[in-house]
């Protein structure tokens, strides 16, 4: 019995030190990942804001295009022999090109937002797993401490 107690004490101390070291590593990793998550969430918020801005701009371009088309239609109805002017064609082409660029940007941003949101979810899952590991190790250490105080 004495031998068992004599040899288990150093092993127990080494296990405790190992658990404390692992707990410190987990806490360091948690701090690092929390910082990463904070930056990711800030980036995600900026991208969502940019996406909303692009959507508003796209809507504005559609409205301007409709106004121009309606103005051209009214002019053509009032003057049946007239045609679209080169300036009107240029303006329509510019609005269309601008709209197409915005649509590509919107599609790209939507994809980037989805990826960033997935990364945030994955990071949150990793953080939860690390917290659970830290809680389990802390509980083991508390239990061992309570056990050693009783004996």
Percent of the chain with pLDDT over 90: 78
Based on the structure, what is the number of domains in the chain?
Answer: 1
Length of the chain: 151
Tracing tokens 């590593």 back to the chain, one arrives at 25
Tracing tokens 């030190």 back to the chain, one arrives at 17
pLDDT score of 147? 60
Residue 127 confidence (pLDDT) above 50: yes
Average pLDDT of the residues in 119-127: 96
Question: Which CATH number do you get for residue 34?
Answer: 1.20.120
**Binning pLDDT at 50, 70 and 90, where does residue 5 land?**
very low
Could you tell me which of 23, 6, 22, 26 has the C-alpha nearest to residue 127? 26
What's the domain range around 73? Answer: 2-150
CB neighbour list of residue 75: distance below 8 Å, 6 or more residues apart:
82
What pTM does this model have?
0.72
In this predicted model, what pLDDT tens digit does every residue of 83-116 receive, in sequence order? Answer: 999 999 999 999 999 999 999 999 999 999 999 9
Residue 28 confidence (pLDDT) above 50: yes
């Amino acid at each position: 019995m004495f031998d068992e107690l004599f040899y288990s004490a150093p092993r127990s101390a080494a296990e405790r030190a190992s658990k404390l070291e692992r707990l410190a590593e987990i806490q360091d990793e948690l701090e690092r990942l929390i910082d990463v998550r904070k930056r990711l969430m800030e980036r995600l918020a900026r991208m969502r804001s940019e996406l909303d801005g692009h959507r508003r701009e796209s809507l504005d371009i559609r409205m301007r295009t409709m106004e121009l088309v309606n103005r051209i239609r009214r002019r053509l109805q009032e003057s049946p022999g007239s045609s679209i002017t080169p300036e009107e064609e240029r303006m329509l082409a510019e609005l269309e090109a601008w709209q197409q660029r915005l649509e590509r940007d919107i599609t790209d941003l939507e994809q980037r937002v989805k990826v960033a949101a997935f990364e945030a979810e994955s990071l949150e899952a990793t953080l939860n797993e690390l917290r659970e590991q830290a809680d389990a190790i802390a509980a083991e250490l508390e239990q061992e401490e309570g056990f050693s105080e009783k004996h």
